[in-house]
Amino acid sequence: MKTITFDSGFVLDDPNSYWGDPSYQLQPGDPGYVPSGSQLNPKPRRKHMRRQRWFPSRTGDQVTFLNNFSTKLPIYATAFGLSAGTVTAVQADCAWLAHVLGTWLPAVRTFAESCTGAANDAQTTDGTGAMTLPTFTAPTAPTAVAAGVLNRLFNLVQTIQDSPGYTETMGSDLGIVGSEDGAPDFSTFAPVLKITRAPAGVTVGWGWQGKSAFLDMIELQVDRGTGYQLLAYDTTPGYVDSEPIPATPTKWKYRGIYRVGDQRVGEWSAEASVIVGG
């Protein structure tokens, strides 16, 4: 079972959806699940594109990448078949986004902090003279470009990686060879479960660990004192076990393993447990 909201694509007439506080949807393996053609199709999870894995996740590292890519791209432009105009446009894109992320945004955040301080002073600080409120002065910016810099950059990098003159050495120098391009090592790869109590039952927290492109779902099992049994096949992190809570304290244990199609892949997760009832 998983919690749902109407504005995220779930409909009122689905036989497995129950609307209340909270609202939830039964999943395969849940008591009362109705396997029918009318079953709701939830919003599909997003597959991460291969071309994006090389791009850093931290803002500071993104600025460093943009500056490096802009500086070194002209060195390899001929090998990639890129025109001078294309290189100039990419450099303008990189300069603008590096400014927005590395200069303008920190200045805005600093200004916001000073505004918060001024608001606090206006309310509680003793003073005699008239207050002077902070004034934001934007840092000097390079030539502005159209929105969507990363969309254009990702498309260009894909073109570069597909060009006959591209080599891994060039890609490494430009910073476009990601550390997560390969599939996980399934000899050691396993889900990580986090179990918490929720109003609707027990929430089995799990995630893709950055490898969603190589996985389809997770198989969850539960042991309520009689051995492990199938709980659900889940494709959206955060499964809610809606089994009625017993009257006396009982330990429920959970484990999970990833699946690709009909096959289990990797290792079982470490066992996670919670005391329910009482």
Same domain, 164 and 128: yes
Same domain, 22 and 134: no
Residue span of the structural domain in which 262 resides: 2-47+184-276
Task: Flag whether 158 is in a domain.
Answer: yes
Domain-terminating residue out of 174, 206, 228:
174
Same domain, 75 and 165: yes
Same domain, 116 and 165: yes
- And the tokens for 35? 């396997």
For the range 61-67, what are the long-range contacts, defined as Cβ-Cβ under 8 Å and sequence gap of 24 or more? 62/101, 63/98, 63/101, 63/102, 65/175, 66/94, 66/95, 66/97, 66/98, 66/101, 67/94, 67/98
Any residues with CB less than 8 A from the CB of 155 and at least 6 apart, and which?
none
Same domain, 194 and 169: no
Q: Where are the alpha helices (DSSP H) in the chain?
A: 59-80, 84-99, 105-124, 149-162, 168-174
Domain-terminating residue out of 122, 150, 174:
174
What pLDDT is stored for residue 1 in this prediction?
A: 63
Give the β-pairing of 24-25 and 2-3: antiparallel
What pLDDT is stored for residue 39 in this prediction?
A: 39
Same domain, 222 and 112: no
Task: Flag whether 179 is in a domain.
Answer: no
The C-alpha atoms of residue 38 and residue 35 are separated, in whole angstroms, by: 8
Largest CA distance in the chain: 75
Same domain, 62 and 165: yes
Q: Amino acid identity, residue 138?
A: A
What pLDDT is stored for residue 11 in this prediction?
A: 52
How many domains does one find in the chain?
2
Same domain, 69 and 148: yes
Same domain, 222 and 261: yes
Q: Could you list the pLDDT tens digit for every one of the 278 residues in the chain?
A: 676 665 555 555 566 766 555 566 777 766 666 665 433 344 444 444 343 578 887 888 899 999 999 999 999 999 999 999 999 999 999 999 999 999 999 999 999 999 988 998 899 888 888 999 999 999 999 999 999 999 999 999 999 999 999 998 999 999 998 754 567 888 899 999 999 987 778 999 999 987 887 888 999 999 999 999 999 999 989 899 989 988 899 999 999 999 988 899 999 999 999 999 87
Domain-terminating residue out of 121, 142, 174:
174
Same domain, 158 and 211: no
End-to-end CA, the chain: 23
What pLDDT is stored for residue 44 in this prediction?
A: 45
